[in-house]
C-alpha cells in the first residue's frame, strides 16, 4: 500500500515546462559563448585575420598590414598572408610589446621614434611587462557561458526528467557576464592605450583598433540578457505568478 502511494506521488509530481523565456536565454547564452570563442581564435589563421583587436599598417600606406589577436597574429604583405599562434602578443604594455616583437622583422615601422615626456603623457611612463591574464578569464567565461547553454538546452529537451530547480543556468550566465565585463575592461585598457601610444611614438605606422573589443562588449550584453531571462521566475513578486506566469507553466 505504501509503495502504491509513493508511485502515485511520483506520477503526479509537477513538472515545469520550458517556455519562450528559456529559449531566449538559450539563444543569448549561445551567442555570447560563440562571440568569446571567435575572439580567442581570431587572427590565428588567414580566414580569421578580420577578427583582431589591433591592426598596424604602414604610413604612408603600403602593402604591409599586421593583425593582432588574443592568441596570435597575421602578417599580410603583397596579398600573401602568414599567421602564427603566439600568446606572447597578449602582454602589457601593448605598445612596448608590439615594438619589441616586430622591430627586428619590420624595422622601418618603428624607425624615428618620438620621445614622449612622461609629465605630459603619463601613459608613456615605463612599466614592467606583465600578462593581464586575459586568456584565463576568457576560458572561464567560455566554461560558464557554455555550461549555462548546456543546462538551458538540457531543460528544453529533457524537462520531464530534468528541472534545474536551483536556476543554475541563470547564475552561470551571470557569472559569464561578470567575466566578460572584466575582459572588456582589460582589453579596453590594453588596446586603446596601446594603439594611442603606437600612433604617438612611431610616425611610420598607423595603429587602429579592431572589431573584437566590440564583440566582447556584445558578449557581455548577451550574457546579461541570458541571465535575466533564465532567472525570470526569481523576479516574480507573487508565488502564483512565478508558478503560472509566462515561462513557468506546470504540466
Q: Which domain holds residue 224?
A: 18-111+130-229
pLDDT grade, residue 236 (50/70/90)? low
Residue 91 lies in a domain: yes
Higher pLDDT, 214 or 241: 214
pLDDT grade, residue 73 (50/70/90)? very high
pLDDT grade, residue 65 (50/70/90)? very high
For the chain, how many structural domains are there in total?
Answer: 1
Mean pLDDT of 87-109: 90
Mean pLDDT of 52-60: 92
pLDDT at residue 230 greater than cutoff 60:
yes
Handedness of CA 239, 242, 246, 249 (dihedral sign): negative
Residue 116 lies in a domain: no
Residue 117 lies in a domain: no
| Sole residue written with cell 604594455 | 93
The Cα 100–Cα 54 span in angstroms is: 16
Could you tell me the CATH number of the domain that includes residue 33? 1.20.140.150
Residue 56 lies in a domain: yes
Mean pLDDT of 160-170: 70
Question: What is residue 248's predicted lDDT score, i.e. its pLDDT?
Answer: 43
pLDDT at residue 205 greater than cutoff 70:
yes
pLDDT at residue 15 greater than cutoff 60:
no
Residue 158 lies in a domain: yes
Residue 243 lies in a domain: no
Residue 199 lies in a domain: yes
Question: What is residue 141's predicted lDDT score, i.e. its pLDDT?
Answer: 97
pLDDT at residue 162 greater than cutoff 60:
no
pLDDT grade, residue 60 (50/70/90)? confident
pLDDT in tens, 119-160: 666 766 667 778 888 999 999 999 999 999 998 888 777 665
Cβ neighbors of 20 (< 8 A, separation 6 or more) are 246, 247
Residue 120 lies in a domain: no
Q: Beta-strand (E) ranges in the chain?
A: 16-18, 54-58, 64-68, 72-77, 80-85, 205-209, 248-250
Amino acid at each position: 500500500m505504501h509503495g502504491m502511494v509513493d508511485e502515485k506521488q511520483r506520477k503526479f509530481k509537477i513538472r515545469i515546462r520550458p517556455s519562450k523565456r528559456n529559449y531566449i536565454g538559450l539563444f543569448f547564452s549561445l551567442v555570447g559563448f560563440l562571440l568569446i570563442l571567435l575572439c580567442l581564435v581570431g587572427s590565428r589563421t588567414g580566414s580569421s585575420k578580420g577578427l583582431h583587436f589591433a591592426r598596424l599598417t604602414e604610413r604612408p600606406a603600403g602593402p604591409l598590414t599586421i593583425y593582432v589577436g588574443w592568441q596570435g597574429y597575421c602578417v599580410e604583405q603583397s596579398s600573401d598572408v602568414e599567421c602564427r599562434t603566439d600568446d606572447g602578443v597578449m602582454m602589457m604594455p601593448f605598445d612596448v610589446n608590439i615594438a619589441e616583437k616586430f622591430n627586428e622583422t619590420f624595422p622601418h615601422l618603428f624607425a624615428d621614434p618620438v620621445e614622449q615626456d612622461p609629465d605630459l603623457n603619463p601613459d608613456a611612463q615605463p612599466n614592467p611587462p606583465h600578462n593581464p591574464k586575459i586568456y584565463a578569464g576568457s576560458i572561464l567565461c567560455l566554461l560558464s557561458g557554455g555550461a549555462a547553454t548546456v543546462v538551458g538546452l538540457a531543460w528544453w529537451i529533457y524537462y520531464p526528467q530534468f528541472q534545474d530547480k536551483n536556476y543554475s543556468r541563470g547564475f552561470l550566465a551571470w557569472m559569464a557576464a561578470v567575466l566578460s565585463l572584466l575582459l572588456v575592461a582589460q582589453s579596453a585598457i590594453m588596446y586603446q592605450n596601446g594603439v594611442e601610444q603606437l600612433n604617438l611614438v612611431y610616425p611610420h605606422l598607423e595603429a587602429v583598433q579592431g572589431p573584437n573589443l566590440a564583440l566582447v562588449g556584445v558578449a557581455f550584453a548577451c550574457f546579461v540578457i541570458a541571465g535575466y531571462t533564465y532567472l525570470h521566475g526569481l523576479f516574480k513578486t507573487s508565488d502564483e505568478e512565478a508558478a503560472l506566469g509566462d515561462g513557468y507553466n506546470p504540466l
